[in-house]
């Protein structure tokens, strides 16, 4: 995949500027892990181990992102970013940091009689790509919408979807690509790939953000 000039923003504004800031969160993760689950009980010990594992995988993915951008390997950068999102999501979930609990375990039966209500392209004939806005048409999250942030290059054909906000949170799902169908019609842009930039004045106009274009 080509690396367009616009995507140098990813290297300059995101990867080169933010890793140090992201790494500065290590004490926050460590303090929360040790404070929320401080005892030697098997339950607390197990949670500490699980949370430390997710933090380790998160920062390993961050290093992969830096290397991918230095090589201008856009697909690898998407995967590394997806893994960062996934491990942070797991940390929040395991650590009990999500602010809500959804008692509905499986949406798919609820949509059996209303599948025509989901407007989407054929996910097999016209599969979604990274940055496509999608609706999940199979599985426990049927009916939920989001954006594809990565596609794993293996035989399983799994993709990573960042779901749209629900009660202020954006969960991450890894699903078969055939479950994520492109939404049809006019859609509001997703801010996942909008990269903040320092304001720059050109004449009388000020630019505050720019979108990474594929």
96-147 tens-digit pLDDT: 988 776 666 777 776 676 666 666 778 889 999 999 999 998 888 888 899 9
- Specify the pLDDT at position 202: 40
- Specify the pLDDT at position 115: 65
**pLDDT tens digits for 37-96?**
999 999 999 999 999 999 999 999 988 988 888 888 888 989 999 999 999 999 999 999
3-state secondary structure the chain: CCCCHHHHHHHHHHHCCCHHHHHCCHHHHHHHHHHHCCCCCHHHHHHHHHHHHHHHHHHHHHHHHHHHHHCCCHHHHHHHHHHHHHHHHHHHHHCCCCCCCCCCCCCHHHHCCCHHHCCECCCCCCCCCCCCEEEECCCCCCCCEEEEEEECCCCCCEEEEEECCECCECCEEEEEHHHEEEECCCCCCCCCCEEEEEEEEECCEEEEEEECCC
- Specify the pLDDT at position 196: 52
The model carries a pTM of 0.77
**pLDDT tens digits for 148-203?**
999 998 867 899 999 998 888 889 999 999 999 998 877 777 776 665 544 544 44
Mean pLDDT value of segment 6-29 = 66
């Amino acid at each position: 995949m080509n690396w367009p000039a616009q995507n140098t923003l990813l290297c300059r504004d995101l990867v080169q500027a933010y890793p140090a800031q992201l790494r500065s969160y290590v004490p926050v993760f460590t303090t929360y892990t040790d404070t929320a689950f401080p005892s030697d009980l098997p339950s607390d010990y197990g949670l500490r181990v699980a949370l430390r594992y997710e933090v380790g995988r998160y920062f390993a993915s961050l290093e992969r992102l830096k290397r991918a951008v230095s090589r201008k390997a856009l697909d690898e950068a998407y995967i590394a970013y997806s893994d960062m999102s996934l491990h942070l999501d797991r940390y929040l979930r395991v650590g009990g940091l999500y602010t809500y609990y959804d008692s509905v375990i499986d949406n798919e039966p609820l949509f059996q009689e209303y599948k025509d209500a989901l407007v989407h392209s054929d996910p097999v004939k016209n599969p979604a790509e990274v940055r496509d806005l999608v609706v999940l048409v199979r599985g426990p999250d049927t009916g939920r919408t989001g954006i594809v942030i990565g596609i794993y290059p293996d035989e399983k054909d799994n993709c990573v979807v960042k779901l749209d906000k629900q009660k202020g949170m954006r969960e991450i799902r890894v699903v078969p690509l055939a479950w994520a169908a492109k939404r049809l019609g006019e859609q509001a842009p997703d801010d996942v790939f909008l990269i903040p930039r320092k304001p720059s004045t050109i004449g009388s106009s000020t630019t505050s953000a720019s979108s990474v274009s594929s």
